[in-house]
């Protein structure tokens, strides 16, 4: 399934105003650092609650920021966002043992069996880990090959979290249980030894590289670029005031803690700001969606992955005749007519694979009536996973009725185009088509084909005596008898005027002659009164033409042969059958 590329807070382009705000804050903090620097070593009273409150707040802020980055990673699969989530999680965790082991906060030497160098080494791990994480983030931005597959995001995220926790645990064990082996980088409460040991300059270098990397790679284009650069810059001021401030609880030391708080708060603040802004946009979009959904003229519904209805719009309620609470949380298959349930379920299952479906079905109204519909089923994809489907329904009941009427009309037109309007026998067009088709088949199979012509005797006198209306009734009765006797053996057609014919493919000579006699006798037995005929009832003369092999004759020759036989029957006194020159019966 193709993954949808989703936006997140920090792929949004930064505005000019946001850049200006970040520059202003950064410049202000730099200016404040420069102004305070000459007085940084001035000692202030030790405020006992300050450090615990500060560390707890920074740890909480970094942990929340880490969680928000992690959620963004789960949505987008972005490796850089996962790296940032791990970086801020590391910051949030490493500050906890730093606080617990800080001298004179909980105990004189600190908890966890801390020594005199333990707390400062946690500070080094904290302030080294953050720029290291930023550099790793920049490398992932430059070299990552794309988002993590949705199926692997959870396990990748969990492994990252476990790795960070194990790293912090390992550092805690190292700095507490083996504190005596730690190099001394703080003397009393002063930080000069950190600088002279080379650790301080290393931290400065990592931070400077991080800032340069953010400016070069990110170029302050997105919200993340802007505010992450500010956070690292303020962190740089924190380290500078701490190392050059002289000692703990000096003006520089307190201001450095404030810088740490600002550095930790920058990203969370912009997260909250963007969340509030996007919530307002989401609220507006939700209202637009509700207007589109509820006021759509077509019935629309949504179901979850278990096919339970989650929502229905007003048009769907009206279509099915139920109240909303009678539909929601019910299985959608309950409202599908028997005979269509399986097809409906199959289309739902196909849509759950991420492929939209369109099909015709029949729904059940509350009153039991059937509703012809066309349904388009669209998968609902959240974080790369199909969680349900939308359905858009078109009521095609009127269309179906129109189609049925059109089919009936076409059937009538077809019948009219193939049958004679008066006698309902096949017309001449139908006869010619049938005769040619059967001629081809009989030629291919080496079969015989015959045509029987019959003409009502003295029909002009019948019309003159009884009128044309009675003449039409006579034709209808004779045609019905011919059609009934022919059945499925061949095709009965009106040849023209009072002449009719029967085409009989694949029949032998004996059958043809016998059938011609049945026609003659059957029509006479109708006993249609005709005082001007010899028999005083309507009779017919019958002529038969047969082709035993279609290879040596043609359709026209076959018709001509039957016509000659009919002429011979008329000449012989009418009311008789002639096949070629053979008289079958004279009456």
Distance CA 289, CA 277 (A): 18
Contacts of 531 (CB under 8 A, 6+ apart): 465
3-state secondary structure 163-193: HHHHHHHHHHHHHHHCHHHCCCCCECCECHH
Q: Phi and psi at residue 310, in whole multiples of 5°?
A: -100, -30
For residues 188 and 193, give the distance between their C-alpha atoms in angstroms, rounded to a whole number: 10
Instruction: Give the number of residues written for the chain.
Output: 587
Whether 408 is catalytic = no
Of the candidates 553, 543, 546, 530, the one whose C-alpha atom is nearest the C-alpha of residue 574 is 543
Residue 355: phi and psi, rounded to 5, are -110, 115
Torsion sign (Cα): 41, 46, 47, 49: positive
Q: In 3D, which of 271, 280, 241 has the Cα closest to residue 258? A: 241
DSSP states of 86-101 as a string?
A: HHHHHHHHHHHHHHHT
Quick one: angle between helices 555-571 and 428-445, nearest 10? 110
User: Six-digit token pair at 45?
Assistant: 């009273």
Please report how many Cα atoms fall inside a 13 Å half-sphere around the Cα of residue 353, on the Cβ side.
7
Q: Give Cα 352 to chain centroid, integer Å.
A: 8
| In contact, 113 and 173? CB cutoff 8 Å | no
- Encoded tokens for 307: 């096919």
> Per the structure block, which two tokens stand in for 56?
């707890």
Cα torsion 366, 368, 374, 380: sign: positive
Q: What is the radius of gyration, based on Cα positions, of the chain?
A: 49
Q: What are the structure tokens assigned to 333, written together? A: 């298959």
Report yes or no: 161 and 89 within 8 Å, Cβ to Cβ.
Answer: yes
Q: What's the per-residue H, E or C state across 331-370?
A: EHHHHECCCCHHHHHHHHHHHCCCCCEEEEEEEECCCCCE
Q: Is 420 helix (H, G, I), strand (E, B) or coil?
A: coil
Cα–chain-centroid distance for residue 332? 18
> Cβ distance 351 to 335 under 8 Å?
no
SS3 219: coil
Q: Output the CA torsion sign for 389, 394, 397, 399.
A: negative
Q: How far apart are CA 141 and CA 447, in angstroms?
A: 84
Closest Cα partner for 393 from 299, 256, 497? 299
Instruction: Return all residues near 465 (Cβ < 8 A) that are at least 6 apart.
Output: 530, 531, 532
Give CA angle at 105 (100, 106), nearest 5°: 65
Q: Which of the residues 2, 180, 403, 498 is marked catalytic?
A: 498
Give the catalytic positions in this structure: 498
């Amino acid at each position: 399934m193709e993954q949808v590329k989703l936006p997140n807070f920090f792929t949004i382009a930064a505005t000019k105003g946001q850049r200006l705000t970040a520059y202003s804050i950064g410049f202000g903090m730099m200016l404040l650092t420069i102004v305070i620097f000459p007085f940084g070593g001035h000692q202030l009273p030790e405020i006992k609650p300050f450090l615990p409150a500060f560390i707890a707040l920074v740890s909480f802020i970094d942990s929340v920021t880490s969680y928000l980055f992690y959620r963004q990673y789960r949505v987008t699969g972005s490796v850089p966002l996962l790296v940032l989530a791990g970086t801020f999680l590391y910051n949030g965790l490493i500050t906890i043992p730093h606080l617990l082991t800080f001298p004179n906060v909980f105990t004189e030497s600190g908890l966890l069996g801390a020594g005199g160098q333990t707390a400062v080494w946690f500070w080094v791990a904290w302030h080294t880990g953050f720029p290291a994480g930023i550099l790793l983030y920049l490398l992932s931005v430059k070299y990552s090959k794309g988002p993590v597959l949705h199926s692997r995001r959870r396990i990748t995220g969990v492994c990252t979290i476990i790795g960070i926790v194990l790293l912090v645990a390992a550092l805690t064990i190292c700095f507490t249980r083996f504190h005596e082996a730690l190099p001394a980088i703080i003397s009393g409460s002063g930080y000069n030894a950190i600088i002279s040991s080379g650790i301080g300059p290393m931290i400065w270098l990592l931070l400077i590289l991080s800032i340069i990397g953010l400016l070069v790679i990110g170029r302050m284009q997105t919200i993340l670029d802007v505010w992450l650069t500010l956070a690292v810059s303020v962190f740089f001021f924190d380290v500078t005031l701490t190392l050059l401030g002289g000692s703990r609880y000096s003006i520089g030391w307190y201001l450095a803690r404030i810088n740490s708080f600002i550095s930790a708060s920058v990203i969370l603040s912009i997260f909250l700001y963007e969340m509030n802004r996007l919530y307002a946009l989401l609220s507006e979009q939700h209202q637009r969606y509700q207007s589109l959904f509820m006021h759509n003229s077509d019935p629309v519904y949504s179901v979850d992955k278990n096919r339970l209805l989650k929502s229905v719009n007003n048009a769907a309620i009206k279509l099915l005749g139920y109240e909303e609470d009678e539909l929601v949380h019910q299985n959608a298959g309950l409202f599908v007519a028997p005979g269509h349930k399986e097809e409906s379920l199959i289309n739902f299952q196909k849509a759950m694979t991420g492929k939209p479906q369109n099909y015709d079905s029949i729904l059940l109204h509350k009153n039991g009536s059937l509703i012809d519909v066309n349904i388009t089923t669209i998968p609902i994809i959240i974080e790369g996973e199909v969680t349900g489907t939308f359905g858009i329904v078109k009521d095609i009941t009127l269309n179906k009725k129109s189609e049925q009427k059109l089919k009936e009309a076409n059937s009538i037109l077809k019948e009219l185009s193939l049958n004679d309007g008066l006698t309902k026998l096949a017309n001449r067009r139908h006869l010619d088509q049938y005769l040619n088709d059967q001629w081809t088949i009989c030629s291919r199979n080496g079969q015989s084909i015959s045509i029987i012509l019959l003409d009502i005797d003295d029909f002009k006198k019948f019309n003159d005596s009884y009128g044309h209306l009675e003449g039409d009734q006579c034709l209808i009765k004779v045609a019905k008898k011919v059609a009934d006797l022919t059945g499925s053996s061949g095709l009965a057609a009106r040849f023209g005027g009072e002449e009719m014919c029967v085409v009989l493919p694949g029949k032998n000579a004996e059958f043809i002659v016998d059938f011609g006699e049945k026609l003659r006798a059957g029509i006479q037995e109708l006993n249609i009164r005709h005082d001007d005929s010899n028999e005083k009832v309507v009779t017919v003369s019958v002529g038969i033409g047969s082709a035993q092999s279609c290879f040596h004759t043609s359709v026209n020759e076959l018709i001509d042969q039957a016509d000659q036989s009919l002429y011979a029957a008329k000449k012989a006194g009418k009311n008789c059958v002639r096949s070629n020159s053979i008289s079958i019966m004279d009456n």
